[in-house]
Amino acid sequence: MSRTAGHIEQHFTGSETVRDVVIGMSDGLTVPFALAAGLAGAVSNHWLIVVGGVAEIAAGSIAMGMGGYLAARSDADSYHNEVRREEHEIDAFPEVERDEVRDIFARYGLEGVSLEAATSAVTANRLAWLQFMMREELGLEEPHPGRALRSSLTIGGSYIAGGILPLLPYFWPINIEHALLLSAAITLVALGIFGWVKGAFTGLAPAKSAFQTMLVGGMAAGAAYVIARLVSGIAG
């Protein structure tokens, strides 16, 4: 958010974090729900469902967190490889790279003296030149040094937070079929709230975001539930 002469500009800058929360929370809500629902059709002991669900949450959060870590590390490695390639091109072919800077500014509408002045200003400093080419030519921003670990923890933590909710009814001494229905209701409501909050953070219409999240998440959970029940039926 920036403030200029009484004018406040609001821009969302946490898209990577929101993406990680979305990945972790959506899977955390749907996969444990489907597993518990499948087990509910095969066993009559609440605690077997709880133990199975908790084991899945533990394994799933670790796997998802590790996946987020490796993905973020891959992005960082790719960025630094491109930096080395661009550094070589600036050193080996400075006139070609200078022409590329000129072409970029020309696309923004600069011409004549202004175009040459802007090109000279950027290419006068090697670091600024490199950063300009990375951002404007390749469309790449340098990843935050702690991005990989933060992504891993965010995805894993979101998975755990989402996964606990569908399991809550199975902790209570009620009929397993009733626990399943309650679990489905909790999952659907949680998807709606999650979608609403996600929309508010990203600038989308909260109601639309909530509906889309409930629809997509509900379809995913329903498909996973059907598969789990089919598998448990075959195994039984």
7: left (phi over 0), alpha (psi -120 to 50) or beta: beta
- What pLDDT is stored for residue 160 in this prediction? 93
User: Percentage of the chain surpassing pLDDT 90?
Assistant: 10
Residue type, 99: D
* Strands (E) located in the chain: 2-4, 7-9
- What pLDDT is stored for residue 8 in this prediction? 43
Q: For residue 57, what pLDDT band results from cuts at 50, 70 and 90?
A: very high
Q: Are 18 and 195 in contact (CB under 8 A)?
A: no
pLDDT in tens, 108-147: 888 788 888 888 888 888 888 888 888 877 777 777 777 8
- What pLDDT is stored for residue 14 in this prediction? 52
d(CA 130, CA 165): 48
- What pLDDT is stored for residue 6 in this prediction? 47
d(CA 122, CA 126): 8
- What pLDDT is stored for residue 114 in this prediction? 85
pTM for this entry: 0.72
Q: What is the mean pLDDT of residues 79-108?
A: 85
- What pLDDT is stored for residue 13 in this prediction? 42
User: Percentage of the chain surpassing pLDDT 70?
Assistant: 88
pLDDT in tens, 165-224: 989 998 888 888 888 889 888 988 888 888 888 777 767 788 888 888 788 777 776 776
d(CA 69, CA 76): 11
**pLDDT averaged over the chain?**
81
The distance in angstroms from the start CA to the end CA of the chain is: 57
- What pLDDT is stored for residue 2 in this prediction? 44
